[in-house]
Amino acid sequence: MSLGRILALARKETIQIWRDPRSLAVVLLMPMMLMALLGYGIGLDQTNVPLCVYDREGSQLSQDLLKSFVSNRYFSLKLDAGNYPELIDAIDGGQCTVGVVIPLYFSKLLGAGQPATVQAIIDATDNNTANLIIGYTQAVVARFSAGVQLDYQQRNGPLLGAPALSVDARTWFNEDLESRNFIVPGVVALVMAVIGTFLTSLTIAREWERGTMEQLVSTPVTPLEIIAGKLIPYFVIGMADALSCAAISVWWFEVPLRGSYLLLFAASSIFLAGVLLLGFLISAYAKTQLAASQFALLTTFLPAFLLSGFAFPIDQMPMAVRMVTRIFPARYYVTALKGIFLKGAGIRPLATDMMAMAIFAIVVGAAAACCFRKRLD
């Protein structure tokens, strides 16, 4: 392989990119757009949940419980119903997502040290949202109940039958339980996969469409030199996009980066090499830029979104689907990014993921070298 010929091809490809406004738009705008749309558009946190209440007792204690609901960011009071049908109509009409009903004799039962039940009616049209709201509701009631128990014990002595065991939960790596910290590193992987494969999928197809393939075939460069020369500019661009996405994650979305910058650079380099070679392999098969770009998006965006652990937990998928996820490098890159950003993981915990991405790059690179031939048929 000749370094001079590789650099000459890299310079030629750089000029092609500079003269192609569509490629420039993809390079400059798509990473920022995807980071903004997915970073802000996807959120697993539920805040300001519409709340309707029906206080049948109207005592000071029942009002204190309702204040516990509306004093945090998870609930927003929309209706103080005067009767039960009014509450049901509000939930049926979509005005409220959760309705809380406080029964009669609520304060009397608690004052006597007896259990009292509060009814919560949840709109479970979206079961994931309903599960979160149930957890929020139970947490508010449990916190209020602990305060009532403490007040009772201070006035009347120890409460018989009170639980002697409690859980003191301590969260690691994402202390505030912000879904943004979980989602944004996955967005970086999604951007890298789409950008890398999409751009390189047009390289050989562009030569066919513009009629310059004959000139390329007639040169003394070898297929490996063509692959290296065409991918170098995109590797530089891809790493610049990776660094810009990481900067946006840390400084704009305020996702903590606890790991090594060098390890982040190494993981991104290995993953980018794999997706660039995949794009070149697609380009070697496709004869038109349209077909190449469509196939590139099909083989990168959907797997990176659905099968990488970015949107859905892999351990909750069926066994057959979990086995399929092992084919796609985005799975390992998402794991590596979350480990570097949130856990501050070193090379040892991430060695398996790094090795899997390297193997993918080697296999796809070998396939691209075997597939691409300097011929016109």
Span of 121-125, 159-163, 229-233, 321-325 with lowest mean pLDDT:
159-163
Q: How confident is the model at residue 310 (pLDDT cuts 50, 70, 90)?
A: confident
Residue 360: its pLDDT value, please?
A: 94
Instruction: Select from 126, 156, 186 the last residue of a domain.
Output: 156
Longest C-alpha distance within the chain, in Å?
Answer: 97
Residue 358: its pLDDT value, please?
A: 95
CA end-to-end span of the chain, whole Å?
A: 25
Residue 14: its pLDDT value, please?
A: 81
Span of 87-101, 165-179, 220-234, 326-340 with lowest mean pLDDT:
165-179
Q: Is the pLDDT of residue 173 over 70?
A: yes
Q: How confident is the model at residue 263 (pLDDT cuts 50, 70, 90)?
A: very high
Instruction: Select from 156, 187, 206 the last residue of a domain.
Output: 156
Instruction: For residue 240, give the nearest of 276, 277, 199, 268 by alpha carbon.
Output: 268
Q: Do 101 and 183 have their domain in common?
A: no
CB 30 within 8 A of CB 194: yes
Q: Do 152 and 285 have their domain in common?
A: no
Residues in the chain: 377
For the whole model, what pTM was predicted? 0.77
Q: Do 99 and 151 have their domain in common?
A: yes
User: Distance from CA of residue 318 to its chain's centroid?
Assistant: 20
Rounded CA-CA distance 301/296 in Å is: 8
Residue 169 counted as domain residue: no
Span of 40-49, 160-169, 322-331 with lowest mean pLDDT:
160-169
Mind listing the pLDDT tens digit for each residue in 182-206? 888 888 888 888 888 877 877 777 7
Q: Do 229 and 343 have their domain in common?
A: yes
Q: Is the pLDDT of residue 368 over 80?
A: yes
Residue 169: its pLDDT value, please?
A: 61
Q: Do 29 and 149 have their domain in common?
A: no
Q: Do 148 and 287 have their domain in common?
A: no
Instruction: For residue 329, give the nearest of 349, 306, 354, 351 by alpha carbon.
Output: 354
Q: Is the pLDDT of residue 213 over 80?
A: no
Span of 1-5, 84-88, 132-136, 345-349 with lowest mean pLDDT:
1-5
Q: Do 94 and 23 have their domain in common?
A: no
Average pLDDT (306-326) is 86
Domain range spanning residue 281? 3-43+178-371
Q: Which of 98-107, 228-237, 259-268 tops mean pLDDT?
A: 259-268
Residue 242 counted as domain residue: yes
Q: Do 137 and 221 have their domain in common?
A: no
Residue 167 counted as domain residue: no
How far CA 351 is from CA of 57, 257, 323, 354, in Å, comes to: 61, 19, 20, 5
Q: Do 53 and 36 have their domain in common?
A: no
Q: Do 266 and 350 have their domain in common?
A: yes
Rounded CA-CA distance 87/97 in Å is: 11
Residue 164 counted as domain residue: no
Q: Which of 40-44, 174-178, 210-214, 298-302 tops mean pLDDT?
A: 298-302
Rounded CA-CA distance 354/85 in Å is: 59
Residue 103 counted as domain residue: yes
Average pLDDT (353-375) is 85
Residue 172 counted as domain residue: no
CB 295 within 8 A of CB 215: no
Rounded CA-CA distance 306/317 in Å is: 11
Q: Which two tokens stand for residue 51?
A: 């709340």
Domain CATH number, residue 58: 3.40.1710.10
Write down the mean pLDDT value for the chain.
Answer: 82
Task: Look at the chain and report how many structural domains it folds into.
Answer: 2
Rounded CA-CA distance 219/344 in Å is: 48
Q: Do 124 and 261 have their domain in common?
A: no
Rounded CA-CA distance 298/303 in Å is: 8
Residue 112: its pLDDT value, please?
A: 77
Average pLDDT (307-332) is 87
Mind listing the pLDDT tens digit for each residue in 26-81? 777 777 887 887 777 766 667 788 999 999 888 888 888 888 888 888 899 998 99
Q: Is the pLDDT of residue 362 over 90?
A: yes
Q: Do 351 and 325 have their domain in common?
A: yes
Residue 171 counted as domain residue: no
Instruction: For residue 255, give the nearest of 172, 349, 338, 314 by alpha carbon.
Output: 338
Go through 162-200 and write b for each residue having 16 or more CB atoms within 10 A of its CB, e for each that does not: eeeeeeeeeeeebeeebebbbbbbbbbbbbbbbbbbbbb
Rounded CA-CA distance 161/95 in Å is: 40
Q: Is the pLDDT of residue 167 over 60?
A: no
Q: How confident is the model at residue 164 (pLDDT cuts 50, 70, 90)?
A: very low
Instruction: Select from 122, 156, 190 the last residue of a domain.
Output: 156
Residue 173 counted as domain residue: no
